[in-house]
Amino acid sequence: MSELNQTHGKVEAVKPTTLDQIWGDTGLSKYKTLDEKQYTSQLDEMNRSDLQAHAISIGIIPIDNRETLAGRLLKEFRKHVSSHTVPNRIDHSAKVSKKALDILKEGK
């Protein structure tokens, strides 16, 4: 029993969607993290001028309202993370045996 592992069965392969990802970019170069909680805590620790400088470095036009700027930064961060974690589509065209199909049809 100690050697058994529990798994969810989902394939966790990520398909590269940009040239940077093909060349090995993991997404950590822009924000230094892909964890939303960690990024949110980084934003909370920044003062307004730091937030504006961070926004400029990311490519967002800085504004004076701290809450709105933090919301825009968080939205851009979520887009960045989702672009680096797009899973591959699973090929469902595999042949299934007649016995397996009969078992699956029992619930009808």
Return the biggest CA–CA distance within the chain: 66
Low-confidence stretches of the chain (pLDDT < 50) are none
Residues 54/46, Cβ–Cβ less than 8 Å = yes
Residues comprising the chain, all counted? 108
- C-alpha dihedral sign at 62, 63, 65, 68: negative
pLDDT at 36: 92
Structure tokens at 107: 């619930």
pLDDT at 52: 94
pLDDT at 91: 65
**Cα distances (angstroms) measured from residue 17 to each of 10, 26, 31, 83, 93:** 20, 12, 18, 7, 23
- Stated pTM of the model: 0.61
Residues 64/55, Cβ–Cβ less than 8 Å = no
